[in-house]
Amino acid sequence: MDLPVLYLILKFLAVSASFLAAYDVKDDMVPVIISVLSFACVFLFELLAARLWKKKSIIMITIAASMAACFIMGIEKLVPLFAVLMLHLFELVLASKMYWQVSLVALVLLYAIFPPGIDATVLSAILIVMHMAARHAVIKQDDAIRRNEALQERIVKLEEKVADLNGLMKTLKATASLEERNRIAARIHDEIGHGISGTIILLEAALLQLKDNRDKAAASVEKAIANLRESVDEIRTALREERADRALLGIQDVTSILEEFKVKYNISTKLKTSGDLSGISLDMWACIHDNLKECLTNVLKHSNATEFVLDIKVFNKIVKVEYKDNGKTKHEFEKHLGLEAIEERTVSCKGRCFINKDENGFAVTNIFTLV
């Protein structure tokens, strides 16, 4: 349904009712039928012009011809049809803000100049009320369609931006990795490589001096050993400095999982931490990682949640990890493979698992003991 179809229906109703109300059964119905069919052909032609050619000039010419025909055939009898034709003409030539003001003034003048009978008056009132209600609904529908199309275009553009950002993130990650590798290689070459190269030279000199001067050879070997010890110490220092903190790696791992889930499924995710995370072992981080993935999968399968929270709290002797969503379902949860796997992983890390569902959502809580 759109405005051309709306005016076509109103014109059909107006022309049919006008002729039926104006002519008596005793009169010859052939001219009435021919007139109705003629108007119907013109109205259908207007709809085709609106659909195929989309030229207002053609439609305005046909409307003007139909209005002239109403005067020729008797405007007193065809006032409802003339009113609908006039409203359609105003729809084409007037701005939407001025449409109702001009239309109401024109209708008042029309019925004042050509006062119809009681039947035509009732028919006109019904048609005008139908026109007002239907036009309002059609305009709202068109606005909703346009907004929906605009939103669809925006969604497509945002999806393209997300894809571009994902590609950029991968590129930046690869670039950062290459820069870090180059930096470590340069440090090994500058700080450790020179020391080892000097040690090789000392050992080669000691080898040459071994036959002629054993004392100098022994001194060169001792110096080479000292240089190797210094190089080993430098290697250990470099490894300690370059090695990332265990807690930082664990937090970065779960953060990336939550962010990826948020972007992919448009579900809000949050990470809360408290306490000293450095006490969490690698096995615990691996368990947290796997349990987090399993809980997120359960959110997609069994919950209508809009928010997911991972809360990690470290106390003096224990670590509490809570995976909670705000999903609300009427069905009670059942332990399937996913929840059983969470319990097994937690127990293997010497922890305990608690599962709870209430009006606030679904929660899985892991308790680990710090050694």
Domain ranges of the chain: 3-116, 164-242, 246-369
Once rounded to an integer, what is the mean pLDDT over residues 177-186? 76
What is the reported pLDDT for 291? 94
Burial class (CB in 10 A: 0-12, 13-18, 19+), 248: exposed
Between 28 and 287, the more confident residue is 287
Residue 25 has pLDDT above 60, yes or no: no
Query: Residue 296 — pLDDT band, cuts 50, 70, 90?
Result: very high
What is the reported pLDDT for 321? 95
What is the reported pLDDT for 315? 92
What is the reported pLDDT for 151? 92
Q: Token digits for 121?
A: 């008056």
At 281, give phi and psi (nearest 5°). Answer: -80, 170
Closest CA to 46 of 89, 93, 12, 8: 8
Once rounded to an integer, what is the mean pLDDT over residues 69-92? 85
Q: Could you tell me the end-to-end alpha-carbon distance of the chain, in angstroms, rounded to an integer? A: 72
Burial class (CB in 10 A: 0-12, 13-18, 19+), 175: exposed
Between 127 and 293, the more confident residue is 293
Strands annotated E in the chain: 268-274, 307-314, 318-325, 351-358, 361-369
Q: Are 56 and 90 in contact (CB under 8 A)?
A: no
Edge-first strand listing for the sheet containing 351-358:
268-274, 307-314, 318-325, 361-369, 351-358
At 87, give phi and psi (nearest 5°). Answer: -65, -40
Q: Token digits for 90?
A: 């105003």
Residue 304 has pLDDT above 90, yes or no: no
Once rounded to an integer, what is the mean pLDDT over residues 245-251? 74
What is the reported pLDDT for 191? 66
Residue 26 has pLDDT above 60, yes or no: no
The CB-side HSE value for 232 (13 A sphere, CA atoms) comes to 6
What is the reported pLDDT for 168? 78
CA distance 255 to 245: 15
Which tens digits make up the pLDDT trace of 136-152?
Answer: 888 888 889 889 999 99
Residue 319 has pLDDT above 90, yes or no: yes
Looking at every residue in the chain, the average pLDDT score rounds to 83
The amino acid present at 165, given as its one-letter code, is L
Q: What percent of the chain clears pLDDT 90, i.e. is strictly above it?
A: 19
**How is residue 279 annotated by DSSP?**
G
What is the reported pLDDT for 178? 77
Closest CA to 294 of 353, 235, 247, 242: 353
User: What is the pTM assigned to this prediction?
Assistant: 0.48
Once rounded to an integer, what is the mean pLDDT over residues 260-286? 89
Q: Are 69 and 53 in contact (CB under 8 A)?
A: no
Q: What is the dotted CATH code of the domain comprising 246-369?
A: 3.30.565.10
Once rounded to an integer, what is the mean pLDDT over residues 152-168? 85
